[in-house]
Structure 1
Amino acid sequence: MPTAMITGASGGLGSALADVLAPTHTLFLASRPSSRLDAVAERLGATTWPIDLADPGSFEAVVEPIVELDVLIHNAGVAYPGRVAESSVDEWRSTMAVNVVGTVALTLELLPALRSAAGHVVFINSGAGINASPGLASYTASKFALRGFADSLRADEPSLRVTSVHPGRIATAMQEDLVAYEGRDYNPDEFLSPQTVAQLTADAINAPPDAHVREIVIRPR
């Protein structure tokens, strides 16, 4: 079976992506070590890969055994709710380190394996990567940067398929934190389910080889 690495695979959208791809792909679940990650891997018969996107210096040794990779899904990310005036430089630094620099660094380490497989790189971006979201200043900036990196990768690596996924708000733990910041009660029915976003992402990955789905924009009905 083709191989797929998913970052941030321990819960939420990451585990939903693992669920939907498990029947068709050999999974490499990449995240910081945790019991939640182990549980997902055990349930799906997948392999765990200890990766901390804030520590790109460790990537080379971790991914060295991978000589071919069919799919790389960048799902991990952080968000610090706050408008521009409320944000701190440390929050900006942390957001960019994980959402942008770590993602770029992991892609570069895996680029030879992706080229060998004529692979597919998927960036789980956000609606905030298209239009700025109030109260998510550093997150929005990081997602705009991530979209630019995806576009550059697509232009510079024509043998690869590169897809940016821009969902609206998803019913995840991150969403609960944002709703709490907004001072509202959390109702998951107001948001996209992780399973819906995962299925649409899998549809792009499993598209026929002559199709290149470059961008997916998803909003709650």
Structure 2
Amino acid sequence: MARMATHLITGAGSGIGAAVARRLHARGDDLVLLARDAGRAKELAEAYPGARTLVGDLATPDRLSWAFSHQSLPDRLDSLLHIAGVVALAPVGDLTPKTWRHQLDVNLLAPAELTRLLLPQLRLSQGHVVFVNSGAGLSAHAEWAAYAASKHGLKALADALRHEEHANGVRVTSVYPGRTASPMQAKVHQQEGKEYDASRWIDPESVATTILTALDLPRDAEINDLTVRPGR
């Protein structure tokens, strides 16, 4: 009998992460869902019956190794899906080190540390690391300096990892969605002082489709970079 694929997902609680988790869960794949605390883990376990949870706070990447040492990690991992993220907009003149650090920790350092900790399992399965980046990972606009810097860094992490792990059979994909209808997007509009109309932006399900396409691609190819823009 074929072994079920196992995916570790960050950000499964909402937006793109929830859409991806729903799709993988519906087709019977095994899920390991990262939660920031025990309460959140309980919510995710109830939302996805049969899924395992792993508790670790992406806002404190230095503590992830310690947190995981007290829990059981999967023996093999077919994909590591970095989908969680935070955003706080402000002009450079108003950005404090605390605001910079929080976005860099969650959006860049935590994915780097998670990848480091799980690479042995990914190499064993010749697995796939997917970084859900952002259009801000390719260009930065006014008030987006800290977030865009974290996402530019995430692109560098993905590009370097792809070169390093190619010989081990580990595939690496960066997905750069434009504005996607999600709680994060609602928050961005609030920060921008704009009215939020979800129908104007990409449905998270559409981004999930692109991620599953990358995951399901036959072994003779890999999607390195995928930019997804609103179609209207």
TM-align CA RMSD: 1.6
For 2:203, the equivalent position in structure 1 comes to 193
Letter in 2 for 1:58: L
Instruction: Single out whichever of 169-178 and 34-43 deviates more from structure 2.
Output: 34-43
The Cα of 1:170 is off from its aligned counterpart by 0.8
For 1:107, the equivalent position in structure 2 comes to 115
Tell whether the 8 Å contact from 1:10 to 1:37 is kept in structure 2 after alignment: no
For 2:64, the equivalent position in structure 1 comes to 58
CA distance in 1 between partners of 2:206 and 2:157 (Å): 25
For 2:174, the equivalent position in structure 1 comes to 164
CA distance in 1 between partners of 2:35 and 2:11 (Å): 5
The Cα of 1:36 is off from its aligned counterpart by 5.8
For 2:45, the equivalent position in structure 1 comes to 41
Tell whether the 8 Å contact from 2:64 to 2:113 is kept in structure 1 after alignment: no
CA distance in 1 between partners of 2:188 and 2:148 (Å): 13
CA distance in 1 between partners of 2:220 and 2:70 (Å): 32
CA distance in 2 between partners of 1:62 and 1:192 (Å): 39
The Cα of 1:24 is off from its aligned counterpart by 4.6
CA distance in 1 between partners of 2:70 and 2:60 (Å): 11
For 1:12, the equivalent position in structure 2 comes to 15
Letter in 1 for 2:199: D
For 2:126, the equivalent position in structure 1 comes to 118
Tell whether the 8 Å contact from 2:136 to 2:151 is kept in structure 1 after alignment: yes
The Cα of 1:200 is off from its aligned counterpart by 1.1
Instruction: Single out whichever of 150-159 and 55-64 deviates more from structure 2.
Output: 55-64
- What is the TM-score normalised by the length of structure 2? 0.90
How many corresponding residue pairs? Answer: 221
Tell whether the 8 Å contact from 1:9 to 1:37 is kept in structure 2 after alignment: no
| CA distances 1:14-46 after superposition (whole Å, capped 9, x unpaired) | 111101111152011112136565444323321
Instruction: Single out whichever of 132-141 and 166-175 deviates more from structure 2.
Output: 132-141
2:221 aligned to 187, 202, 211, which one?
211
C-alpha change, 1:62 and 1:149, in structure 2 (3 Å) is: farther
The Cα of 1:9 is off from its aligned counterpart by 1.2
Tell whether the 8 Å contact from 1:4 to 1:26 is kept in structure 2 after alignment: yes
C-alpha change, 1:43 and 1:180, in structure 2 (3 Å) is: closer
Identity over aligned pairs, percent: 39
CA distance in 2 between partners of 1:154 and 1:131 (Å): 21
CA distance in 1 between partners of 2:116 and 2:71 (Å): 11
Tell whether the 8 Å contact from 2:41 to 2:55 is kept in structure 1 after alignment: no
Secondary structure of the 1:157 match is helix
Mapping of residues 70-149 of structure 1, within 5 Å: 70-149=78-157
Letter in 1 for 2:18: S
CA distance in 2 between partners of 1:34 and 1:172 (Å): 24
CA distance in 2 between partners of 1:155 and 1:135 (Å): 32
Secondary structure of the 2:64 match is helix
- What is the TM-score normalised by the length of structure 1? 0.94
CA distance in 2 between partners of 1:63 and 1:149 (Å): 26
CA distance in 1 between partners of 2:5 and 2:186 (Å): 34
| CA distances 1:157-215 after superposition (whole Å, capped 9, x unpaired) | 11210000000011111111111122111100111111111111111111111120111
Give unmatched runs, 5+ long, in structure 2: none
